[in-house]
Structure 1
């Protein structure tokens, strides 16, 4: 059985229960570098827990396309995880609320190409899903000695579709 999940634009308000949208919007916190650089300060709630540190890794992910089959989500119980695209292309962000230790109904967001995200600790989420090449991302996450990954495989998969695309399910 397949269930339909339509994408929605990524906004800070809609994404707030799952994490932070990192973007240069609104009034900057201050101007720096002789007034030539707007600093939008402290945009992510980074959380690496005790006995760990933050690290920056580089990812090169294969592009995917819509409709996209969602069969698995994962979460990181010991730390937050931020993805910062190194390109100007939109990417797919799938998250789900926790319902008693398993993921609830997922939501699928599409970035505008200039947004990054920070997933809060213990947030169910899909894998890194660029929608165009290159799939280059910087990732800021927890580096520690204990495992920090839990996967959940759906019994019934979801088909993620763009509701504005007439050639896709749910259009």
Structure 2
């Protein structure tokens, strides 16, 4: 079997499985819709799963799982921090805009980094300067204004894993 065919079959199977997981199937029409969507996804993106004999998913899975763990941990910490700010209105906060420097160059990896920062409460990515490698972020409680320090506090927790995962 050709590598591209194997890749498309795998993508079809995974897509259909995800469709079943996220929908509450109540009739045959939903199953048919899932099959059509999975077929479309496998035809469009099926050839990218396997680039050699080894699956991209298999080689990147440990980094993906590590990234999810770090993301959820940072979201938990940020949520607790925002809860403390809401519960105690006298807690001094210092909102402001800062920028961080990223070494990531690809659009997809910069988007994942920006979305990860935005998903952690208290931070919101407002702009990306791809040419210079800066992300502009609104931070609910600015702890530093120096680019290097802000990069260390906000961006490095995600970027080190993203460099390995998104290459």
On whether the aligned pair clears a TM of 0.5, the verdict is no
Select the structure with the greater relative contact order (CA < 8 A; seq sep ≥ 6): 1
The TM-score range, normalised by the shorter chain, is under 0.3
Whose strand fraction is larger, Structure 1's or Structure 2's? 1
TM-score after normalising by structure 2: 0.26
Whose helix fraction is larger, Structure 1's or Structure 2's? 2
